[in-house]
Amino acid sequence: MNQHHEDLRATAALFARGLVPGSVRVHGARSLWAERLADGSFRLALASERSESLTGFAGEAHRHGEVIVLRGALGGANLAALRRALPNLSPVPLGPGTSAGFGDRLGLATPGHVDALRAARAEGRVAAIFAQQSMRENARTGRTPQGVLDDATAGAFRAGWRHPVGADADHLKTEADVDLCLDAGYSMFTIDPGAHVHDDADTLRGGALQEAFEQRPPWPALDSSPDDLMARLAGFELDLGERALRFDNEALQRAAVKYGAAVAHVMRLTHHLRAKAGPGRAEVEVSVDETATPTTLAEHAYLALELRRLDVDWVSLAPRFVGAFEKGIDYLGDLAALARDLDGHARVAAALGDYKLSLHSGSDKFAVYPIAAAAAGARVHLKTAGTSYLEALRVAGAAEPGLLHDVVRLGLERFAEDVVSYHIGGRPERVPDPAALPGSALLALLEQRDARQVLHVTFGSALERYGPRLRALLGAHEDAYRDALRRHFERHLAPFVATAAAEATA
Ligand SMILES: [Zn+2]
């Protein structure tokens, strides 16, 4: 038999063993690929002529003539070895260009996210973060930062992703959170000082405002004093194109009352991170999106000026925008007002540091994307999370309606308890009666706002009870889940790709 026939036979053998097309990577003296097993799970395979090329990986090795093939788990220590072998899978800071975060509560969505980036022609234009989870989500899903990162690595490898990746440790509130995620290999740290934001500052007047200004901000920690701040920033002006921003005394005092303690908190966590992480290892996002009242442009400027003075560097900032970015549904509010707000924030960011605006709860905001892309250009980070779970429920509802019925019923039961700490308007009493929607007619609920939000916030309860069933179903219908995610996220990405492409050619 000639060489050609032997190659063909070897290739056929690989496919017979479940080789995942598109996963094959040749790196140095070895090839790596994923294999799909009969039960829907995946394993890692490596081949090399030199046994030392396989060290660090655990599994069973067999010799085929000159070549050694090792097959092992696509999990645990093999994923750490995989990140070393294929450096693009090891999270790095992604810098100030357009980026998107794809939170994935099930750990199965990354291949679909990769498909969407490809379909939208976003590769190389929109930087990707596949591992992104907050401590709140970790607590509710029973997952760990390491587990989330490992699932994202496995998914990106299976899908043959060849571009860099970031990993976002989302909504961190303590030094212990920072340490945990740094050890796991995260590259982006979203510091959330929300608990230190005083929303009541918006309504303080006269003497009450003056008193709060003297007492609320932690002045020693800020290395400042009421007099020092007024001397530095009262009367400060910023040219924002069609409008100018000027700190009058009251606006400055209000900003310090509202965000002074938040500045100190961000500084503490960022300095902690910098001391541990070493240079070039991590980037920081500052997020105040989960607070009750919008961040004014003056307050944004105060935050940026003070953080910079205190030697904090950050790559993106998530203000609390006007209107409402609620989970799982489109924007609620006046789009013209939002456009003006986004434009103002983008101009403040451009003037004070050239960092990105981060859109949290960014999934399903189809009315917002063109506006945000027009206002901020390439300086946008789009953060999504729960919507990939809702797409999983859509696949479940089509393949096994009984499972979706169970999840909906449980969600209605658990809503009151699970909604705590979420800012949403959805109400279970407005969800259509599931009993009146037999079989896959229940899929209509995924188009209904209240139902989407009820399902969105009760994911922890649902995964606790039905997680294994849902994961098994998605394993068996992997292509359907990938298709659903590709369609859904292509729509999220398209407006940003258009802007990134236009800026690249400008
Ligand atoms: Zn957020």
- The CATH number covering residue 174 comes to 3.20.20.70
Let me know whether 267 and 397 are in one domain. Answer: no
Does 72 lie in the same domain as 25?
yes
Is 387's pLDDT higher than 80?
Answer: yes
- Separation of CA 431 and ligand 1 centre (Å): 25
Distance (Å) from CA 134 to ligand 1 centroid? 9
Is the dihedral angle over the CA atoms 391, 395, 396, 401 positive or is it negative? positive
Closest by Cα among 383, 342, 392 to 364: 383
Q: Which run of H or E residues covers position 15? A: helix 3-16
Q: How confident is the model at residue 260 (pLDDT cuts 50, 70, 90)?
A: very high
- How many angstroms is it from 289 CA to the middle of ligand 1? 6
Mean pLDDT of 314-335: 96
Predicted confidence band of residue 358 (pLDDT cuts 50, 70, 90) = very high
Q: Which of 85, 115, 133 is the last residue of a domain?
A: 85
Whether residue 344 lies inside any domain: the answer is yes
Is the domain of 331 the same as that of 344? yes
Q: Considering 137, 285, 299, 400, which one is annotated as catalytic? A: 285
319 shares its domain with 444:
no
What is the b/e burial string over 110-143, where b = at least 16 CB atoms within 10 angstroms of the residue's CB? bbbbbbbbeebbbeebbbbbbbbbbbbbbebbeb
Q: Looking at 29, 52, 85, which one is the last position of a domain?
A: 85
Return the axis-axis angle of helices 478-505 and 386-399, rounded to nearest 10°: 140
Q: Are residues 141 and 178 in the same domain?
A: yes
363 lies in a domain? yes
Nearest alpha-carbon partner for 347 in 300, 286, 309, 313: 300
Whole-number Cα distances in Å, 493 to 121, 122, 204, 464: 9, 7, 41, 31
Query: What's the gap in Å between 359 CA and the centre of ligand 1?
Result: 8
Whether residue 94 is contained in a domain is answered as no
Mean pLDDT of the 171-179 span: 96
Span from the CA of 311 to the centroid of ligand 1 (angstroms): 24
Distance 296 CA to ligand 1 centre (A): 18
Q: Average pLDDT for residues 272-285, to the nearest whole number?
A: 94
The candidate with the shortest Cα–Cα distance to 291, out of 250, 267, 269, 324, is: 324
Q: What is the mean pLDDT of the segment spanning 486-495?
A: 97
pLDDT at 212: 97
Instruction: Verify that 120 and 263 share a domain, yes or no.
Output: yes
DSSP-assigned states of every residue in 98-146: -EEEE--SSS--HHHHHHHHHHTT-TTTSEEEEEEEEHHHHHHHT--HH
- Say which of 170, 299, 306, 326 is annotated catalytic: 170
List pLDDT tens digits, range 182-226: 999 999 999 999 999 999 999 999 999 999 999 999 999 999 999
Question: Which is more confident, 503 or 25?
Answer: 25
CA angle 452–454–459, rounded 5-degree value: 95
Q: How far is the CA of 13 from the centre of ligand 1 (A)?
A: 47
Q: Is residue 59 part of a domain?
A: yes
Task: Tell me whether residue 341 is in a domain.
Answer: yes
- pTM of the predicted model, to two decimals? 0.95
Indicate the average pLDDT of the chain. 94
Residue 15 has pLDDT above 80, yes or no: no
Per-residue pLDDT of 413-471, as tens digits, reads 999 999 987 889 999 999 999 999 998 899 999 999 999 999 999 999 999 999 999 99
Same domain, 80 and 111: no
Residue 7: count other Cβ atoms within 10 Å of its Cβ.
Answer: 10
Residue 506: pLDDT band (50, 70, 90) is low
The confidence band for 290, taking pLDDT boundaries of 50, 70 and 90, is confident
In this structure, the answer to whether residues 127 and 142 fall within a common structural domain is: yes
How much distance in Å is there from the Cα of 102 to the middle of ligand 1? 13
Range of the domain at 391: 387-478
Looking at the fold, whether 297 and 369 belong to one and the same domain comes out as yes
Using the 3D structure, point to which of 58, 85, 112 is the last residue of a domain. Answer: 85
Domains identified in the chain, total number: 3
Smallest CA-to-CA distance from 35 within 60, 53, 52, 55 is with 60
pLDDT of residue 498: 87
Distance CA 160, CA 163 (A): 9
Q: Evaluate whether residue 296 is within a structural domain.
A: yes
CA distance 485 to 391: 7
231 is a domain residue: no
**pLDDT at 173 (0 to 100):** 95
- Residues of the chain with pLDDT > 70: what percent? 99
> What is the distance in A from the centroid of ligand 1 to the CA of 64?
51
Mean pLDDT to the nearest integer, 377-403: 96
Q: What is the pLDDT of residue 292?
A: 87
> 37 C-alpha vs ligand 1 centroid, how far in Å?
37
Q: Do residues 410 and 341 both lie within one domain?
A: no
- Known catalytic residue at 391: no
Give yes or no: residues 61 and 18 share one domain: yes
- Give yes or no for residue 5 having a pLDDT over 80: no
* Residue 302 forms part of a structural domain: yes
Ion ligand 1: residues, Cβ under 5 Å: 289, 360
How close are the terminal C-alpha atoms of the chain, in Å?
57
Residues 286 and 358 in one domain: yes
Whole-number Å distance, alpha carbon 285 to ligand 1 midpoint, is 11
228 part of the active site: no
Look at residue 29 and tell me whether its pLDDT is greater than 90. no
